Amino acid sequence: MTRHPTDTIISESLDVPTIHETVVDGIQTFWVDTGPPFVATLMFRVGVADETLAERGITHLVEHLALSPLRDVAHPFNGAVTYDATNFWAAGSVEDVVAFMTRLADQLANLPTDRLEVEAGVLIAEGRSFQRSSHAAILANRFGPHGPGLMAYREFGLRRLEADDARRWARDRFTVGNAVLLLTGPPPDSMRLPLVPGKRRPLVLPPDRHWFDTEGPARIDQQTAGFAIGAFGERSMPLVIAGQAVAMRAQEVVRHELGRVYSVAHEYQWLNADEAYLYWGADSDPEHAAEATQAFGAVLDDLTSTGPTQAELDRLVAMAQQVDVMDPNNLARNELHRWAFAALQGYPQYDRAELQEQIVEATPQDLASALAASMEHAMAITVDGVDIGFADARSCGDDRIDGSVFRARSDGTVRRYVLSGEAVSDVTGGSAVTLRFDQLALVAHGNDAGRLLIDHRGSWIGITPSTRRLRRLVAAIDERVSPDIVVPASRNE
């Protein structure tokens, strides 16, 4: 096998092609020889979690602008933006892929913005189908509209971003130092990636920004059917397996025994090098939602106390080992991505033998302990009145302010907006939501001339100016907010 200069073997076994590490044009590169087609992936450490609420969508826009001039090729290619990374890939002959990746790097280094209005329009149209998932809602309730919590918000920035914004983001984030390259063959000598210089940008989690005040697991919202549970814990193999054990037993109980859900969704997501997010959720009909939720809660309680049975643990270990029967090339590509992604994020790196050893050595009590620790800050979205041991989240109790009062009536409900020089309150019934102007993250204009105000906790106030007095309120608010966080109703405004 041809060895690239400075090439290092980082993982090899009898059943998986060898994974190598080297450097191509200054970019940390990982490659494995799986035969044709030749696939190259350029991965950058920038994603949704790096944006602000007012510029939400800027990474997606840069991805589209960089790829748009390259759509004249005949081979497959695409790009994608995730929570913490952006990927560009192309597949085909070595010559075609090398030419494509060189052009791509040049586009990122000299971002073309002549199609900004068109591509922003495409993404705005795509975003009309956006719906906040329970998975993202839990993240937003922990972090507010920052970092992981931004996954719960629309791409507001697409209505206001200009060419200079996109070019700045590309220069700062899509750089040599903030990238890794993945190849399914030895690096061709002809490969050139003329990106601009830059440094690696590790993802920094924002602090917790709860709008509620509670200790222990909290129910943060309610729904008419199904359930969603999120937990946060220290990254570890016992926590990985514990999450799988809950999902496996809940699937057996809630679906196969009770027949109340189709499936129990489960996800284990890395948040950074130290912390992980566990999620379980299921849909059900409203009539049986409480039964399904309580059955899941009983599963969760039991596994948190004692861990899985030895038979369940043996099955989970066997399932993890079954990956060995997959096609070796497919397994090698998965391993290639795992190594490269961990290197890009600055995460601990383990070869497959080490991971398998951690799985085999985990005990039921290890899993119970990891799961119990993660439940200390768990959050739930369930049907009203169902008890799974989660306390209802209590509002932090925003201070009421003195100022000018603006009244509005909607569907028989009387709302009072109170405006001062520093804040605005929405007082409905016995509760108040108060947003300070210096703590706002976004002021979005609506097509009805209304305003949506969101602060750094994720608390929000919506105003529909249905009367002359409410229109004066909106005008007064506009005078008090920073233009840097204002999003127009459309790009034509």
Specify if 145 maps to a domain.
yes
Same domain, 94 and 145: yes
Instruction: Report whether 462 contacts 427 (CB < 8 A).
Output: no
Same domain, 431 and 384: no
Specify if 194 maps to a domain.
no
Same domain, 18 and 151: yes
| Pairing assessment for the beta strands 86-92 and 38-44 based on DSSP bridges | antiparallel
Same domain, 160 and 12: yes
Specify if 339 maps to a domain.
no
- CB-based burial of residue 125 (10 Å sphere; 0-12 exposed, 13-18 middle, 19+ buried)? exposed
pLDDT (mean) for 23-38: 94
Q: How many domains does the structure of the chain reveal?
A: 3
293: domain CATH number? 3.30.830.10
Same domain, 154 and 174: yes
- CB-based burial of residue 493 (10 Å sphere; 0-12 exposed, 13-18 middle, 19+ buried)? exposed
Domain of 376 in residue numbering reads as: 218-329+346-392
What's residue 17's pLDDT?
A: 72
Same domain, 20 and 148: yes
Specify if 3 maps to a domain.
no
How does residue 397 score in pLDDT terms, banded at 50, 70 and 90? low
Specify if 385 maps to a domain.
yes
Distance CA(424)–CA(475), nearest Å, equals: 13
Mean pLDDT of the chain: 91
Same domain, 262 and 286: yes
What's residue 485's pLDDT?
A: 97
Specify if 199 maps to a domain.
no
430: domain CATH number? 2.30.29
Distance CA(333)–CA(17), nearest Å, equals: 9
Q: Which of 346, 51, 340, 21 is nearest to 173 (CA)?
A: 51
Same domain, 66 and 109: yes
Distance CA(212)–CA(314), nearest Å, equals: 40
Share of the chain above pLDDT 70, in %: 95
pLDDT (mean) for 77-87: 97
What's residue 3's pLDDT?
A: 40
Q: Is the pTM of this model over 0.85?
A: yes
How do residues 262-291 score in pLDDT, each as one tens digit? 999 999 999 998 999 999 999 999 999 999
